[in-house]
Structure 1
Amino acid sequence: MNQHARAHAECKALRCAVPDPAALRRFCAETARIAVGCLHAELVLYPKPGLVSLVDNGSHTDMNAATFMRSMFSLRHYFSAICRAGFDDAPFAVLRQLGIDAEARMLRATAGINTHRGAIFSLGMLCAAIGRAKAQAIAPGAESLRAVMLIRWGEELTAHTRPGGAASHGLQVADRHAASGAREEGALGLPSVFEVGLPALRLTLAAGRGMHNARIDALFALMAHVSDTNVFYRGGQEGAATVRCLAGDFVAMGGTAHGDWRAYALECHRTLTAQKLSPGGAADLLAATCLVHAVARP
């Protein structure tokens, strides 16, 4: 093959490696559909200590399941857009602005109530990594998605942990209690998702106890592990210790493998609701765990 023919073949191969615009739109839309579905799966899960579900509002008086549904609906285009941005190798500043715009739409949809701020960040970064992996023809395994996220945006994610002038509840609590929030999770490549939530979910599935139980086990594992700024904000050190202790006991008893797991989970729900404690950070990380499981090839 002469040089001209070889160059022509290489160009043709590159064109074949890039999806046509319609196929790429479908891919990003499907990724967004899965992401929203994972948020819905977290919402409908029950029993779920202190958190909003279809059954009750948990520790919250300002939001209910309908609030969460409006929030999810407002985010569907964001997940598609940030997946496409990842495919296009967008810098972190572009991803960050997409997240800021998504948060504004969420707050308009919920009349100012923060339902999914942490999820906008964690699931958004995962959607960007899914898009980037697609562009590089990398199979979306759990390890490869985490690696793509850290290699492409890791430096900026680390810098994002302390943005100048930020004064969100999460950052205030992190300063006061040294608690890790969504930003810190992102800087480390979502370790709670890949090292805690996902293994717990897959272990239960491998044991044959089904997806509902797997999500319950993953949630309690995350509650026992995460220094949740949502909990610290509402209950301080004592509230955080309560959540970790109750969740740790659930994990230690074998989680959903125990015959009385549902009764204990309901008791945890009543306890956290009575104390107005809500592990929303763990809930967001559960949705992120579900997203990785849904798209990752073992």
Structure 2
Amino acid sequence: MENLREADYQLSYDNFIKNSYDLSLKKFINKICFHSIVLEPCVWPNFGLVSHKDSGAHKDMDYNLLIESAKSITPYFYSCFKVGCSTSVSNIEKLFAIKKIGIDAEIDMLNTTKNVNTHKGVIFLLSIVCTSLGISLTNFKVKCTDINIIDLWDFILQEAYNLSKDYVSNEISKIHGYGLSQTYGQWAQSRYKVLGVRGIVTSNFQIVRCGLKIYLDLFNKIKNKELVLGQLRLYFLAYAEDTNIIKRAGIFNAYKLKDLAHKAYAAGGVFTKKGMLLVNMIEDLMNKNKWSAAASGDLIILILFMVSIYESRFINSRKENFSS
């Protein structure tokens, strides 16, 4: 994919959407994923995450590394979409196929970043969602032009839940006690009963559904994507389970942060003076202590992807046979 300059990253997809109709389906899916990933760092507040201006709380990555990481993983999401479009295999076969694709994407990411985990949560979520998008378009002939965005994504996310709930729940049930071979997410689950990204799936994507509704309600009133996405990041900090914060800050400080985020959100967040005082306090606290809100980044990327798929109306304009 093209190496775009910082100035090319704007929080509006308008020009991108207008220019989508001359792309093949493969290029379109890849570009939607790529732009969703690289636009997320442009959303302020960053809460310790890498931005297009600085590295936040991270010494091991910067914006350029995120772009290279995004380039390495985006082709795998179209592969997941094609798995979803296949009519010759069962859902359980699709699930194991995308698990292998996800592992390959992680390997490619780590090779690109020299073993820095930039987008593991994104790989997990977008792999499932892109597969379910393919299933919905192929098996149920869902069209963006036929229903509103909430109903469209309620349908697709339900497919995502149906596809992955049993497998993810089974994986969760296998995690007992503590072990050196565990990932931090597994350790956090064992010790604190915090499910992290797996919990997004087992909850039937409730925080994603709520986040999409908040985004749409705010954007209909304000028409400013930058502010709306900033408020949405604050919402995710307040309500999402974030094992990365627990890892960096400890469970006590993680709950203190969530409490501050709740207060900031209740005070109006990025839209009010009182809310902004609290937002800036959280931002300074997280950067000073090298804490970062990874879950909010993953969820912002997913919301950007969902909105862009719907706004483009692109898939309905194609004559391609999804299941071929």
**TM-score, with normalisation over the residues of structure 1?**
0.85
Task: Give the aligned partner of residue 277 of structure 1.
Answer: 291
Partner of residue 119 from structure 1, selected from 96, 118, 122: 122
Matches within 5 A, 1:31-180: 31-88=29-86, 90-136=93-139, 137-139=141-143, 141-162=152-173, 167-180=182-195
Structure 2: how far apart are the matches of 1:209 and 1:44?
A: 17
CA deviation vs aligned residue, 1:20-50 (integer Å, no higher than 9, x gap) = xxx9x93243122112211112122223111
Residue 110 of structure 1 aligns with an amino acid whose one-letter code is T
Instruction: State the shift of 1:209 in Å.
Output: 4.0
Task: Give the aligned partner of residue 200 of structure 2.
Answer: 185
Over 4 Å off, 4+ runs = 162-166, 259-264
Return closer, same or farther for 1:259/1:46 CA change in 2, 3 Å cut-off.
same
Structure 2: how far apart are the matches of 1:138 and 1:272?
A: 42
Instruction: State the shift of 1:264 in Å.
Output: 4.2
SS in 1 for 2:172: coil
Task: Give the aligned partner of residue 232 of structure 2.
Answer: 218
Q: Is the 8 A contact 2:45 2:233 kept in 1?
A: no
Q: Is the 8 A contact 1:177 1:232 kept in 2?
A: no
Return closer, same or farther for 1:219/1:292 CA change in 2, 3 Å cut-off.
same
Instruction: State the shift of 1:263 in Å.
Output: 5.2
Structure 2: how far apart are the matches of 1:153 and 1:264?
A: 38
Return closer, same or farther for 1:181/1:238 CA change in 2, 3 Å cut-off.
same
CA deviation vs aligned residue, 1:272-295 (integer Å, no higher than 9, x gap) = 111221110121111112212222
Instruction: State the shift of 1:260 in Å.
Output: 6.0
Q: Which runs of 5+ in 2 are unaligned?
A: 1-20, 88-92, 145-151, 314-324
Task: Give the aligned partner of residue 230 of structure 1.
Answer: 244
Q: Aligned residue pairs: how many?
A: 274
Residue 143 of structure 2 aligns with an amino acid whose one-letter code is A
Return closer, same or farther for 1:37/1:154 CA change in 2, 3 Å cut-off.
same
**Percentage identity across aligned positions?**
21
Q: Is the 8 A contact 1:194 1:289 kept in 2?
A: no
Q: Is the 8 A contact 1:133 1:148 kept in 2?
A: yes
Structure 1: how far apart are the matches of 2:27 and 2:260?
A: 39
Q: Is the 8 A contact 1:58 1:269 kept in 2?
A: no
Structure 2: how far apart are the matches of 1:128 and 1:243?
A: 34
Q: Is the 8 A contact 2:248 2:290 kept in 1?
A: yes
Moved more, 75-84 or 86-95: 86-95
Task: Give the aligned partner of residue 24 of structure 2.
Answer: 26
Partner of residue 261 from structure 2, selected from 233, 247, 258: 247
Instruction: State the shift of 1:83 in Å.
Output: 0.8
Structure number with larger C-alpha Rg: 1
SS in 1 for 2:222: coil
Are positions 1:194 and 2:198 aligned together?
no
SS in 1 for 2:24: helix
Q: Which runs of 5+ in 1 are unaligned?
A: 1-22
Q: Is the 8 A contact 2:269 2:279 kept in 1?
A: no
CA deviation vs aligned residue, 1:82-141 (integer Å, no higher than 9, x gap) = 111111155211011100110000000100000100000011111111111111212351
Moved more, 132-141 or 77-86: 132-141
Structure 2: how far apart are the matches of 1:260 and 1:253?
A: 6
Residue 71 of structure 1 aligns with an amino acid whose one-letter code is S
Residue 147 of structure 1 aligns with an amino acid whose one-letter code is Q
Task: Give the aligned partner of residue 13 of structure 1.
Answer: none
Structure 1: how far apart are the matches of 2:192 and 2:84?
A: 34
Residue 171 of structure 1 aligns with an amino acid whose one-letter code is Q
Structure 2: how far apart are the matches of 1:293 and 1:245?
A: 29
**TM-score, with normalisation over the residues of structure 2?**
0.78
